[in-house]
Amino acid sequence: MGRKLLLEHINVPGINTLEVYRQKGGYAAVEKALKTLTPDEVVEEVKKSGLRGRGGAGFPTGMKWSFLAKPEGVPRYLVCNADESEPGTFKDRYLMTYIPHLLIEGMIAASYALGANTSYIYVRGEMMPQIRILERAIAEAKNAGLLGKNIFGTGYNLELYVQPGGGAYICGEETALLESLEGKRGNPRIKPPFPAIAGLYGCPTVVNNVESIAAVVPIINEGGDEYAKIGIGRSTGTKLISASGNLKKPGVYEIELGVPVEEFIYSDEYCGGIANGKRLKAVVAGGSSVPILPANLILKTINNEARLMSYESLSDGGFATGSMMGSGGFIAFDEDQCIVRNTWNFSRFYHHESCGQCSPCREGTGWMEKVLHRLEYGHGKMSDMDLLVDVSKKIEGNTICPLGDAAAWPVASAIRHFRDEFEWHVTNAAEATSRNYGLANY
């Protein structure tokens, strides 16, 4: 049984209230940090833990914190990115719904470490229940003297606000989020400068995902070194995985990083195998922004080593760079799923959500959606697959923000691994047109 650092008490009745959360040891990390550690020492613990950003990019959290500029007399901000919108990703929503004080405790400890006295939780606008839950929890914490002035009598002050999001996927991109928080249209900014130098209102800002901030609590409680003992290599600690698609037991799981993918899919501790006795066809291991991997590749051993649930082990043979663990949105497709239909569905999403600032993304996502639509509905041509790969290459690396890459990778990887299925849609157009099934639930 893997260790649970975030979800250990998730099933305790009333854990969403301050009273029960404190009975289970809640706010001990804040007390320890504020009373016994300097801000720099908290940063040091997070660095030692090896924690990497849980939103998708996997950037080392402690390093991001140490990049924060500290000009004299200029406020610094911590902004929690709770704009969770990646298809197949619902772990932050789960955490905020059932154990909101864990996030608030993490926000206080992280704000203290960064020297922020005003912090924000930017929550996806559609998540009204979670916004209310957080507001209630913040009010409880404030009444108990855990927020506001002179927390734990240490002289440290923090005001924490919840900001409903703008209702667009792109507002989850950190600089678009900051624009939206400033009351403007959520268009991504060109980086550099990174938010650590010029973020909210032009001031130094750290933007961290909900799960990253929650993980600061066990890191302070147990110490960075202890946290780093969990996991494998540079993938330390535990990670929340949102499991969906054709699995027997979809849901949110906390895993120790390094669990074999096969164990995660088939063991009863996690997903319990593929639903309805079907075979696994493919997996999208990190939300829709990563390549789709066929079953034979994800279950295959590489150099006698099994594929692991880690930042390093889920790559697509050097085809795409970055963390292929992404947001931890693990979508399984069974043998009945239509790869063309699912790829078109992803493409439709990215086209709809493109903010339109860069031509390759604005135009390219539209072209990809149209070509995939005609393939799915029996009007495709054999040359369409090369056309799609060509368009995806022209988008990749040529845009302001990662949405362009995210739109390109699923299309290019689907054609790379399932070209025969795309060709079948051309040679069996009538049958392809009459089918309207094969779209996974995620």
Binding interface with ligand NAD (CB under 6 A): 53, 55-57, 59, 64, 67, 84-86, 89, 172-174, 194-196, 207, 286-287, 289, 322, 326-327, 402
Closest residue by beta carbon to ligand NAD: 56
Q: Which helix (H) or strand (E) holds 149?
A: strand 148-151
Residue 258 binds which of ligand SF4, ligand NAD, none (CB < 5-8 A, kind-dependent): none
Nearer CB in complex with ligand NAD: 172/294:
172
In whole angstroms, give the CA distance from residue 261 to residue 308: 5
Nearer CB in complex with ligand NAD: 187/432:
187
In whole angstroms, give the CA distance from residue 289 to residue 346: 9
Q: Residue 251: CB partners within 8 Å, gap ≥ 6? A: 242, 243
Residue 195 binds which of ligand NAD, ligand SF4, none (CB < 5-8 A, kind-dependent): ligand NAD
Residue 160 binds which of ligand SF4, ligand NAD, none (CB < 5-8 A, kind-dependent): none
Going through 222-298 in order, the beta strands assigned E by DSSP cover 231-232, 235-236, 238-245, 251-256, 280-284, 292-294
Three-class SS state of 282: strand
Count of residues making up the chain: 442
Using a 10 angstrom Cβ sphere, with 0-12 exposed, 13-18 middle and 19 or more buried, the burial of residue 24 is: middle
Residue 361 binds which of ligand SF4, ligand NAD, none (CB < 5-8 A, kind-dependent): ligand SF4
DSSP letters spanning 59-72: -BHHHHHHT----T
Q: Residue 439: CB partners within 8 Å, gap ≥ 6? A: 337, 338, 341, 342, 345
Stretch that binds ligand SF4, among 55-63, 78-86, 204-212, 356-364 (CB under 6 A): 356-364
219 torsion bin: left (phi>0), alpha (psi -120 to 50), beta (else): alpha
Nearer CB in complex with ligand SF4: 188/273:
188
Residue 134 binds which of ligand NAD, ligand SF4, none (CB < 5-8 A, kind-dependent): none
Q: Residue 208: CB partners within 8 Å, gap ≥ 6? A: 53, 55, 61, 64, 78, 79, 80, 81, 110
Residue 362 binds which of ligand SF4, ligand NAD, none (CB < 5-8 A, kind-dependent): ligand SF4
Instruction: Enumerate residues 392-431 that contact ligand SF4 by CB under 6 A.
Output: 399-401, 403-404
To ligand SF4, the closest distance from the beta carbon of 399 in angstroms equals 3
Instruction: Enumerate residues 166-195 that contact ligand SF4 by CB under 6 A.
Output: 170, 188
Closest residue by beta carbon to ligand SF4: 361
Residue 186 binds which of ligand NAD, ligand SF4, none (CB < 5-8 A, kind-dependent): none
β-strands 156-164, 148-151 pairing: antiparallel
To ligand NAD, the closest distance from the beta carbon of 241 in angstroms equals 12
Which residues contact ligand SF4 by CB under 6 A? 170, 188, 354-358, 361-362, 399-401, 403-404
